[in-house]
Amino acid sequence: MKEKIPKKVVLADILNQDNQTIIGYNVKNQMQVVLSGFENHGVTILNKYVNSEKTFIVFDEVGFLELEAIKYQKALFNCFKKKRLIVVLRKENNFLINKIKSMDSIFFVDLDNFISR
């Protein structure tokens, strides 16, 4: 079954849904990155939470859209250093996802291959 590509992808602050920005658009059935969404608004959201009293930060999801967003990646890895994270990773092979999966502090669960006993 072919994956349906949405018209747009939004990065949102889950505790304030009014605080969101578009990070991708569907152009001719291909997702095009809106880099400024990550590098400006996305970094601001991450910095807000990394400097807050919150214990956990949730990311749904990290994938190929973040690959060129260098400032966002730095803010993301700063979150890994300072907070506990729950991160949904897109099931693909790229350097960002591979770097996250190879971190010592990661407990990784593949829900497609998860067997409950």
Mean pLDDT by 10 residues, the chain (117 residues): 82 90 95 96 95 92 95 97 92 93 88 70
Tokens describing residue 53: 């009293």
- Domain ranges within the chain, ordered by starting residue: 8-105
Cα separation of 54 and 87, whole Å? 15
pLDDT of 73: 97
Query: Helix 70-82 to helix 43-50 angle, to the nearest 10 degrees?
Result: 10
pLDDT of 14: 85
Spell 22-37 as b/e; 16+ CB within 10 A means b.
Answer: ebbeeeeeebebbbeb
DSSP assignment letter at 4: P
What number of residues does the chain have? 117
What's the whole-model pTM score?
A: 0.88
